[in-house]
């Protein structure tokens, strides 16, 4: 048996690293076994254990039993697991530097494995494993018990996506949620404070109430929405961000028409927490489990298949024939294999749900040569940040082992801003990616605009066609595709695959068969409930779909009886109405809502929730405040004027007038039946009900 290597020359830091690693691997071993594995004396081991315990890195408990050699049991604490991850990075960086120096001495050239200017170059080999933030299984079981006594934060869906990619290495080199200094640097310069390229702030946003309970240096447990502990975090930073500045720098404008800016101001918590995380277990996915791969699993698959060059295709939409031709060309031009890598986390509101999209991807996958193409799902929460997002996507795909990445026109663009103009230029994303691709270590493949040439019965790149005036060019836009699906019109075979169209038609039947929500909003006494009741009767008379009325007063009585009339409670009441309406819409029914709903941001949130499943028709009952106060059938305005009702909409609390409702009606001088008929005509024009 070989004698252990002498370690007297090791630094204190290296000895601590080896100790924590050994305890993580063999938590039940005796002191003698641990000392032997580390190559140190029992006396030195005891000194290391005492120091680690005093620093809160290791817990030591007595063990009952006759064997005096195993009197104690050891467990890495939450803090110890985080310290082990930090020391692992430092140890690896030093060893790579030593290897590179030796390589240079022997060969006269660098190995290519050492960080050059930034840590983005840390792992040049796209098939080598990358660091993860998980502890071993045995340590995870013990950490779960310890974490059960910690203050807990229940993660939002977006935070769960971020945490998963932090833990599995998808966000490498990040070791946790950004510190305040790193956040400021990323927002301003797209780099961490150490110079590493990283374009997107990855932050843990929490409420002020929760933040007030947290002290710097405190460990917290991070739980999913079912209460399962996924990780722990040592809070090193707590601050109130300048969200307007973040919006300007990261998304290009502080404009709430941008979905991520709207999320930033109206959904995200007011306080950010930063600090390293220790992964205990990955989030649980019950859907498409065989299609989900961590970066290291993806790299392992590439090694097994012998793929040395891999081009990744990012998508959040169904694939049609043009996409297949595009990806074929990209792989051929790069002389690479193809990874179809769709996002199934959080995309743009209104996108096709990921269940339908994955079924479409699987149908298209059969059209590719099996030996050249594979598919994996990415649980990413997109920000729709255009140029920055393209660089971010490139870094994530580099971590997954890809060498090339397809970047399209207006990559990850959110659409139009408040002025009706595109947020980003069509080639801004490609320009920024090209500027940084050498540093990232992943090469960009330009997205070609593919069109169908009828005479040649094939797809060609638009900018490569020289005889445009002599041929027939066919193309169907996304808007036109949605119209054809909604109206049950033909979708030609040259555009998409029959299997894809079949899946889309399952989810998107003709509009006259879909569920939808009519959402009335206006002042108290404006006539919302009266019109809603008349509309309900007319729709029930037509038949075909169940109709449910969610009137403000009825909901208050049956669904929100415990709520008051503060802004927080009014928002919660509207969100409850929106949730019920979304379920009705999803199941093919008609929901009619008639609350006051004074706040535009809340109405927008309800719209986004419902439009995942069907149409949302906002009807502004634009009766003037003076007319509503003149009617005052319930005497509420009189009480509000006397100060007996606080926070009354229109008197002591504001009403955000809808800017672009689908319909605006004024009940002054109009019969209720006529107002309801206007709504019916609007529904007919939108194809939601059959014309008379």
Catalytic residue among 158, 316, 484, 603: 316
- The reported pLDDT for the residue numbered 64 is 63
Mean pLDDT of 672-685: 92
User: Using CA atoms, how far apart are residues 188 and 186, in angstroms rounded to an integer?
Assistant: 6
Q: Is pLDDT at 673 greater than 80 in this prediction? A: yes
Measured at the alpha carbon of residue 49, what is the angle toward residues 45 and 54, in degrees to the nearest 5?
150
User: Using CA atoms, how far apart are residues 87 and 208, in angstroms rounded to an integer?
Assistant: 33
Cα 114 to chain centroid, rounded: 32
Q: What is the mean pLDDT of the chain?
A: 87
Sign (positive or negative) of CA dihedral 376, 380, 382, 385: negative
Query: Among the listed ranges 114-118, 201-205, 302-306, 450-454, which one has the minimum average pLDDT value?
Result: 114-118
Which residues are CB-neighbours of 689 under 8 A, at least 6 positions away? 512, 539, 542, 680, 683
Q: Is pLDDT at 114 greater than 50 in this prediction? A: no
Active site residue 317: yes
Which positions make up the binding site?
Answer: 522-529
Mean pLDDT of 385-391: 96
- The reported pLDDT for the residue numbered 158 is 96
- The reported pLDDT for the residue numbered 241 is 97
Write the secondary structure of 15-65 as one string of H (helix), E (strand) and C (coil): HHHHHHHHHHHCCCCCHHHHHHHHCCCHHHHHHHHHHHHHCCCEEEEECCC
Q: How confident is the model at residue 663 (pLDDT cuts 50, 70, 90)?
A: very high
Q: Is pLDDT at 112 greater than 60 in this prediction? A: no
Q: How confident is the model at residue 212 (pLDDT cuts 50, 70, 90)?
A: very high
Yes or no: say if 208 and 250 are a contact pair by the CB < 8 Å rule.
no
Nearest alpha carbon to residue 172 among 298, 17, 327, 343: 298
Mean pLDDT of 298-322: 91
Q: How confident is the model at residue 122 (pLDDT cuts 50, 70, 90)?
A: very low
Mean pLDDT of 132-149: 89
Sign (positive or negative) of CA dihedral 332, 333, 339, 343: negative
Cis peptide before 497 (omega within 30 of 0): no
Mean pLDDT of 585-598: 92
Active site residue 90: no
Mean pLDDT of 299-325: 90
For 504, other C-beta atoms within 10 Å of its C-beta total 22
Q: What percent of the chain has pLDDT over 70?
A: 95
Q: How confident is the model at residue 691 (pLDDT cuts 50, 70, 90)?
A: low
User: Using CA atoms, how far apart are residues 484 and 480, in angstroms rounded to an integer?
Assistant: 6
For 118, other C-beta atoms within 10 Å of its C-beta total 17
Mean pLDDT of 197-209: 96
Q: How confident is the model at residue 5 (pLDDT cuts 50, 70, 90)?
A: very low
For 393, other C-beta atoms within 10 Å of its C-beta total 28
Q: Is pLDDT at 259 greater than 50 in this prediction? A: yes
User: Using CA atoms, how far apart are residues 457 and 473, in angstroms rounded to an integer?
Assistant: 10
- The reported pLDDT for the residue numbered 3 is 42
Cα 554 to chain centroid, rounded: 35
- The reported pLDDT for the residue numbered 8 is 45
Tell me phi and psi for residue 299, to 5 degrees. -65, -40
If you average pLDDT over each of 93-97, 231-235, 354-358, 503-507, which comes out highest? 231-235
Which residue carries 């005093």 as its tokens?
A: 54
User: Tell me, what DSSP letter sits at residue 463?
Assistant: G
Active site residue 316: yes
Query: Among the listed ranges 68-72, 140-144, 406-410, which one has the minimum average pLDDT value?
Result: 68-72
Which positions make up the binding site for ATP?
Answer: 522-529
- The reported pLDDT for the residue numbered 69 is 54
The DSSP annotation for 128-166 comes to S-----BPPHHHHHHHHHHHTTSEEEEPPHHHHHHHHHH
Catalytic residue among 88, 118, 266, 317: 317
Q: How confident is the model at residue 190 (pLDDT cuts 50, 70, 90)?
A: very high
Q: Which residue has the higher pLDDT, 112 or 453?
A: 453
Which residue carries 């403000």 as its tokens?
A: 552
Mean pLDDT of 497-508: 87
Query: Among the listed ranges 70-79, 347-356, 594-603, which one has the minimum average pLDDT value?
Result: 70-79
Yes or no: say if 349 and 380 are a contact pair by the CB < 8 Å rule.
no
Which residues are CB-neighbours of 392 under 8 A, at least 6 positions away? 198, 199, 200, 383, 385
Query: Among the listed ranges 195-199, 241-245, 263-267, 326-330, which one has the minimum average pLDDT value?
Result: 326-330
Mean pLDDT of 491-498: 91
Nearest alpha carbon to residue 200 among 239, 238, 165: 165
Q: How confident is the model at residue 244 (pLDDT cuts 50, 70, 90)?
A: very high
Q: What percent of the chain has pLDDT over 90?
A: 45
For the stretch 548-583, pLDDT in tens is 998 877 787 788 778 877 788 888 889 999 999 999
- The reported pLDDT for the residue numbered 670 is 86
User: Using CA atoms, how far apart are residues 555 and 584, in angstroms rounded to an integer?
Assistant: 15
Catalytic residue among 193, 266, 315, 372: 315
pTM: 0.75
């Amino acid at each position: 048996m070989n004698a252990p290597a002498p370690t007297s020359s090791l630094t204190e830091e290296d000895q601590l690293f080896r100790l924590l690693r050994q305890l993580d691997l063999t938590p039940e071993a005796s002191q003698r076994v641990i000392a032997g594995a580390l190559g140190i004396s029992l006396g030195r081991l005891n000194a290391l254990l005492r120091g680690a315990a005093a620093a809160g890195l290791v817990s030591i408990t007595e063990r009952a039993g006759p064997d005096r050699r195993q009197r104690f049991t050891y467990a890495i604490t939450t803090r110890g697991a985080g310290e082990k991850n930090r020391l692992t990075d430092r140890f690896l960086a030093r060893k790579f530097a030593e290897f590179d120096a030796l390589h240079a001495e022997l060969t006269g050239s660098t190995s290519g494995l050492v960080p050059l200017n930034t840590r983005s170059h840390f792992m040049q080999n796209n098939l080598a494993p990358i660091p993860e933030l998980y502890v071993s299984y045995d340590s995870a079981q013990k950490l779960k018990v310890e974490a059960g006594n910690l203050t807990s934060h229940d993660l939002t869906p977006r935070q769960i996506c971020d945490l998963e990619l932090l833990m599995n290495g998808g966000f490498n080199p990040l070791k946790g949620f950004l510190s305040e200094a790193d956040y400021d640097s990323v927002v301003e310069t797209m780099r961490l404070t150490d110079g590493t390229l990283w374009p997107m702030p990855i932050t843990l946003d929490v409420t002020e109430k929760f933040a007030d309970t947290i002290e710097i240096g405190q460990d917290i447990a991070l739980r999913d929405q079912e209460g399962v502990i996924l990780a722990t975090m040592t809070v090193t930073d707590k601050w109130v961000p300048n969200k307007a500045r973040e919006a300007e720098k990261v998304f290009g404008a502080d404009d709430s028409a941008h979905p991520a800016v709207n999320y930033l101001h109206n959904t995200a918590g007011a306080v950010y927490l930063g600090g390293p995380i220790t992964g205990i277990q990955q989030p649980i996915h019950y859907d498409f489990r065989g299609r989900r791969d961590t970066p290291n699993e993806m790299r392992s698959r590439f090694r097994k298949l012998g793929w040395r060059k891999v081009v990744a295709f990012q998508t959040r939409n169904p694939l049609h024939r043009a996409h297949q031709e595009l990806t074929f060309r990209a792989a051929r031009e790069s002389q690479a294999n193809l990874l179809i890598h769709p996002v199934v986390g959080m995309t743009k509101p209104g996108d096709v749900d990921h269940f339908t999209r994955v079924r479409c991807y699987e149908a298209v996958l059969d059209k590719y040569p099996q030996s050249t193409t594979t598919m994996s799902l990415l649980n990413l929460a997109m920000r729709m940040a255009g140029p920055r997002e393209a660089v971010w996507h490139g870094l994530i795909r580099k971590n997954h082992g890809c060498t090339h990445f397809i970047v399209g026109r207006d990559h990850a663009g959110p659409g139009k801003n408040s002025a009706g103009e595109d947020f980003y230029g069509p080639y801004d994303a490609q320009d920024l990616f090209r500027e940084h691709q050498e540093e990232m270590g992943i090469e960009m493949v330009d997205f070609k605009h593919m069109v169908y040439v009828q005479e040649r019965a094939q797809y060609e790149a638009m900018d490569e066609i020289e005889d445009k005036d002599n041929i027939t060019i066919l193309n169907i836009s996304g808007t036109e595709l949605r119209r054809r699906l909604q109206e049950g019109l033909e979708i030609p075979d040259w555009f998409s695959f029959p299997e894809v169209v079949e899946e889309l038609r399952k989810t998107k039947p003709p509009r006259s068969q879909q569920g939808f929500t009519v959402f009335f909003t206006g002042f108290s006494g404006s006539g919302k409930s009266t019109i809603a009741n008349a509309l309900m009767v007319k729709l029930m008379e037509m038949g075909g779909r169940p109709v449910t009325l969610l009137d403000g007063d009825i909901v208050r009585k049956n669904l929100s009886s415990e709520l008051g009339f503060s802004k927080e409670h009014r928002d919660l009441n509207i969100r409850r109405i929106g949730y019920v309406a979304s379920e009705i819409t999803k199941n093919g029914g008609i929901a009619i809502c008639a609350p006051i709903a004074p706040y535009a941001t809340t109405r927008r949130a309800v719209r986004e929730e419902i439009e995942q499943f069907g149409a949302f028709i906002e009807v502004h009952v634009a009766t003037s405040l003076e007319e509503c106060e003149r009617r005052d059938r319930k005497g509420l305005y009189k009480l509000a004027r006397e100060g007996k009702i606080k926070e009354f909409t229109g008197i002591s609390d504001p009403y955000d007038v809808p800017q672009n409702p689908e319909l605006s009606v004024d009940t002054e001088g109009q019969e209720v039946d006529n107002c309801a008929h206007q709504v019916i005509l609007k529904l007919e024009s939108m194809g939601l009900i059959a014309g008379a």
